[in-house]
Structure 1
Amino acid sequence: MKKLCQLFLLSAVLFSASGHSAMLVTVTGAGTDSCGDWILAEKSAGTPQFIYKTWVDGYLTGFNMSTIMEKDLLREKGLSEIYVLISEYCKKNPVKSIMMATNHIAVNVLAK
């Protein structure tokens, strides 16, 4: 139920920010893991970290494609800098999902 609420909140943020009607979307994969998992993976620097970063890359690419007429979100900041921003968010919000962290960075940092 918690994940469903998070997904609904995300869809409301995404579509209200872009002027589209709100709708529920399903998010799958490593992005549904917690920010705490991101921080643990960051410390181990192994396969889980690669999986999380690859998921973030795909999410941001899709987000960027959906808003391409507004602004190229990935043009100004490199992925390394984005990963640092996600890590900072995750340290402050360890129980939130990686998807919520990535979306927060996309909407509140990259889109500005």
Structure 2
Amino acid sequence: MRKGTLRAATLAFMLTPTIAIAQQPQIRGAGLASCGTWVSESDNRLDMTNWILGFTSSVNIDRHLKGDHRDVLNGADLPSVELWITNYCTKNPLRKIWEATLAMIMEASPR
């Protein structure tokens, strides 16, 4: 009985990191850039801006497919999106662009 318990505990311990990693979002592309990069490279934001627009569009598509037809950005235009990201990134330079985008969606999204 004790061997079985030890094996089960060992197996659970070994699987724990895998489970934790599997729950983290898999982010690709310019969303992995830091907010510090966004702030310091204001003339070179095209890739990051396109990533943000693609990300928000994909969230809109996902919602649409689930019957929710509201815009996650609540109608915000591109200059407003860029300003919001700039303000967030100025305060949080070590965060990633994907985190800034998600925070913006959480704040702007209609309830």
- Percent sequence identity is 25
Specify the alignment match of 2:88 in structure 1. 89
**Which residue pairs with 1:39 in the alignment?**
39
Q: What's the CA shift string for 1:35-91, capped at 9, x where partnerless?
A: 00010121xx1xx31111111111111111112233222452112101110110000
**Offset of residue 98 of structure 1:** 0.4
Residues 1:65 and 2:64 aligned together: no
The TM-score, its normalising length taken from structure 2, stands at 0.70
In 2, distance between residues paired with 1:49 and 1:94?
15
What is the number of equivalent residue pairs in this alignment? 87
| Matching residue of 2:103 | 104
Cα distance in 1 between the residues matched to 2:55 and 2:71: 14
Q: Tell me the SS of whatever aligns to 1:72.
A: coil
- Normalising by structure 1, we get a TM-score of 0.69
Deviation per residue, 1:9-58 (Å, 9 max, x gap): xxxxxxxxxxxxxx54311101111000010121xx1xx31111111111
Look up the match of 1:13. none
Looking at CA atoms only, which structure, 1 or 2, has the larger radius of gyration? 2
User: Gapped runs of 5+ residues in structure 2?
Assistant: 1-19
Give yes or no for contact 2:73–2:105 (8 Å, CA) kept in 1. no
- Looking at structure 1, the residues matched to 59 and 110 of structure 2 have their Cα atoms a distance apart, in angstroms, of 10
Unaligned ranges ≥5, structure 1 = 1-7, 9-22
State the superposition RMSD in angstroms: 1.7
